[in-house]
Amino acid sequence: MTGKRLISFPVLLGGLLVAGLFVSLRDFTVDGDLWWHIKVGQTILATHHWPTTDVYSFTAHGMPWMAYEWVGEVLLAAVQRAWGLQGLLALNLALGAAVVLGLYALGTLRSRNSKAAFVACGLLLYLTAVSFTLRPQMLGYLLLILALIILERFRQGRVGTLWLLPPLFLLWVNTHGSFVIGIFAFGVYAISGLFEHRWGGLESRRWTPAQRLRLGIVFLASMIVLVVNPYGTKLVIYPVDMAFSQPVNLSVIREWQSMPFNSAPGKLFLGLLVGFLLALVALRLTWHLAEFTLFLFGIVAACLHARLVLIFVPFCAPLLAVILSRWIPPYESGKDKLALNAVLIIAIVVGIARFFPSQTQLQSRVEEQWPVKAVQYLEQHPPPLPMFNTYSYGGYLIYALDGRNKVFIDGRADIYERVGVLADYGRIGRVEPIALRLLDVYSVQSCLIERNEALGTLLATSPRWQKVYADDQSVLFVRTQISVALRK
């Protein structure tokens, strides 16, 4: 029976989702933060210590800092050490597949219609893939979907899986700050079952006393395990710090900007929103208070911060599957063509194996995106230090120069915001009148920046700076008197 289920039509649909994901992921678009996450993981693996201060930059050197996503970082470093870039892509694909299949399972669980869930996930795949850059947040994403599946199963009366939540939260708090969204979802489910009511198309059912007791115990246990981490309560409250104490980070870092409706994912999000509204009006569906609250929260979160579309998607998928199940007939196992399914599933597996990029192809993709050649130049011709760098380059410099050059800034915006460096970086990057003076204040002697950024034009114009290296991507400037001395 299990063998038959493995080659059933719903499994084939899951395979198609993974295949669709592979097409978008094999391009191996690397997030700039991946590199410093790997380096932090490598350091933890090598030293068996969790960092408590910054050692990677010269601007925030020695300041309190914690590796709040350390489990994910250790995983990334271990995979990179074992299998290199191919291992990283495989991990990316594996995590992406787990997320998409988790979404598919969630949609199926809610709608009892795997075909409708497949279409819903297919529609949402494009939005989901936007968040599939390899970082510890992908683990957080997966854990959020698992938490939702557990809660939905509990709501449907299958209580056993609820006990998985405390270990899940234990792993989650050590992996990514999105655990607070899991707690929020847990709270919404729990509270919405404290009363029985029906408001138009919204309904809530009261938990039985036994369910309430179980929920209470599991919730308490999940809260307690949160402090089981290398940094104690500091790690638990980090997401709150992020939300309320880092205004510069939220206002200047692109992924924290509001939903860009002029982009293709933004337009798809808007289309889904309008489609859902139309379905509300035309179909008069009934929703559980908890799922609708989470959906509404997901919309608001994604509109405010494009990055949080990763919250919208799992909150939206079950509702979208329910809407689509009005038109899509459910799966009928009697009509299934198992042999054909098996052939197609094998074709997908073979296709992924066949088209999986080689180490050389991946290396060349990395070179297209990151200052690989510039780093080789820096190693051959060490520039005068300290060196200013573009924000997105920081992570790669930490990774590739192995701590030899301390960076000006990198993707750890939190630490740079606390010491005022993030605001100064913004002023320099925007070429404000104070830009050159700020470079003096930080005693910057060289600058590695992207080829087309405004600061490059300014430094090229200034007689105090000289271009000493340039390639298709990046350009290196050094202070004039030093470059003269170097030439001598």
Partner 1 sequence: MKTPQEPETTRLWRAPKPEGAASQAEPAGGLGGHPSDLKIPRQPLAKRLISFPALLGGLLVAGLFVPLREFDGDPDLWYHIKFGQDILATHRFPTVDTYSFTAHGTTWMANEWLGDVLLGAVYRAAGLRGLLALDLALGAAILVALYASAWLRTRNSKAGFVACALLLPLVFVSLSLRPQMLGYFFLILTLIIIERFRQGRSATLWLLPPLFLVWVNTHGSFVIGLFAVGVYGITGLFKLRWGALESMPWTAAQRLRLGTACLLSLSVLAITPYGVRLPGYPIDMAFLQPIGVAHVQEWGPMSFNQPFGQYFLALLAAFLLAQIVFRPTWQLAELTLFFAGLLAACLHTRFLLVFVPFSAPLFATILSRWVPPYQPGKDKCALNALLMAAVVAGIIRFFPSREQLESRVARHSPVEAVQYILRHPPPQPMYNNYEFGGYLIFALDGRNKVFVDGRADIYERTGVLADYASIAGVEQSALPLLRAYNVQSCLLKQGEALATLLAASSQWQKSYADDLSVVFVRSHTGE
Residues in contact with partner 1 by CB under 8 A are 199-202, 250-251, 257-262, 266-267, 270, 274, 277-278, 280-284, 287, 292, 296, 299-300, 303-304, 430-433, 435-436, 452, 454, 456-458, 460-463
Rounded to a whole number of angstroms, the minimum distance from the CB of residue 287 to partner 1 is 7
For partner 1, the closer CB: 289 or 362: 289
Rounded to a whole number of angstroms, the minimum distance from the CB of residue 410 to partner 1 is 24
Q: Which positions ≥6 away from 186 have C-beta within 8 Å? A: 147, 151, 165, 219, 222
For partner 1, the closer CB: 225 or 252: 252
CA distances from 477 to 166, 299, 453, 470 (A): 52, 44, 13, 9
Rounded to a whole number of angstroms, the minimum distance from the CB of residue 44 to partner 1 is 35
E strand map for 336-414: 387-389
- The C-alpha atoms of residue 110 and residue 112 are separated, in whole angstroms, by 6
Q: 466 has which bridge partners? A: 478
| Cβ burial, residue 126 (10 Å; 0-12/13-18/19+) | middle
Helices H, strands E: what count in the chain?
24, 7
For partner 1, the closer CB: 1 or 199: 199
For partner 1, the closer CB: 300 or 350: 300
Rounded to a whole number of angstroms, the minimum distance from the CB of residue 431 to partner 1 is 4
For partner 1, the closer CB: 156 or 251: 251
Rounded to a whole number of angstroms, the minimum distance from the CB of residue 429 to partner 1 is 10
- The C-alpha atoms of residue 187 and residue 252 are separated, in whole angstroms, by 31
Rounded to a whole number of angstroms, the minimum distance from the CB of residue 195 to partner 1 is 15
| Cβ burial, residue 302 (10 Å; 0-12/13-18/19+) | buried
For partner 1, the closer CB: 199 or 244: 199
- The C-alpha atoms of residue 162 and residue 99 are separated, in whole angstroms, by 20
Rounded to a whole number of angstroms, the minimum distance from the CB of residue 452 to partner 1 is 6
For partner 1, the closer CB: 143 or 303: 303
Give the residue among 431, 461, 465 at the shortest CA–CA distance from 448. Answer: 465
- The C-alpha atoms of residue 30 and residue 91 are separated, in whole angstroms, by 13
